[in-house]
Structure 1
């Protein structure tokens, strides 16, 4: 195959979307998108996080293996899968309800006074927090070339620190880890001709 600079890809446009995780082995709940989308519209039932910082999104598939050694060979004769993982990492820079609730792992509730809302919202951080399952979609594109990564069932596995500064914007660094969903960690959709068999 000859070198082809037209098959070098960037991701100048994209978005990250979230919805409640679908019901495992049940019916109802979030319908996982199976279409590629148009690169601009959120999948049905999903909400956008808004802007991420200029480092974009890091998607990491990983497989950890263990070598199987044999008396008759100085090198492994087989590798056995120990674990598999699929993670998405991004630093979100829009302060909105969706982003902050996922970052803090709790929900905003309006403070009431005399049975009426006060316009002040409170977020309680539990000493024994519930771990919220979500569904995640990451879209990115370069002109007409579209990609969509779908993680049906996931959970936040790591959070960065918020730096409060006079000159630095607020950032919400999140690592989201895929969990098993009927034998799948997720999937990627694309219309990229670079991956077609005829290329």
Structure 2
């Protein structure tokens, strides 16, 4: 097969979306996308995470293996799978309700006045629990180069790591997040594309 520079791909545009993870056997929850969908809108039930920094999004599928050695051979005779993972890392730079709640692991609630009839004060707070719950999320990552589109759908995921926020005069606040895919009916994730890379 000849080299083809037209098959070199970039990801100059993209978006990240989250929703509550669907619950197996339950109805009325998140419906996970099963195709590329509308490139200009969030999938139904999902919320956009806004801008990510210029490093973009890092997708890391990994398979851990263990060699099987035999008496009759100096090299392994095969490898067995001991683990699999799929991680998604991004640094979000848009400060909004969705990104801040995701980063801090809590929901904004309005501070109410202490009058006989409590009313909203216009001030909101995040209560950071000393025993936080780990919420299950569903994640969609879209990217494209012109009309060539890709979509990665992670049905179930959890945040496994958060970076530090550095507050300074010249750089925006950054919310660094790493999410790890969880098993859902034997699946870690699905990638869709309209790229001409596979035989029909």
Instruction: Report the TM-score when normalising by structure 2.
Output: 0.96
Q: For residue 165 of structure 1, what is the aligned residue in structure 2? A: 168
1:83 aligns with 2:86: no
Q: For residue 56 of structure 1, what is the aligned residue in structure 2? A: 56
1:14 partner SS: strand
Deviation at 1:3, TM superposition (A): 0.4
1:100 partner SS: helix
1:58 partner SS: strand
Q: For residue 181 of structure 2, what is the aligned residue in structure 1? A: 178
1:130 aligns with 2:133: yes
Picking from 140, 143, 147, the partner of 1:140 is 143
Distance 2:83 2:27 in 1: 29
Q: For residue 102 of structure 1, what is the aligned residue in structure 2? A: 102
Pairwise CA RMSD: 0.9
Structure 2, gaps ≥5 residues long: none
Q: For residue 93 of structure 1, what is the aligned residue in structure 2? A: 93
Q: Which runs of 4+ in 1 moved over 6 A?
A: none
Equivalences, count:
197
Instruction: Report the TM-score when normalising by structure 1.
Output: 0.97
Contact 1:39 1:140 in 2 (8 A): no
Contact 1:156 1:176 in 2 (8 A): yes
Deviation at 1:167, TM superposition (A): 1.2
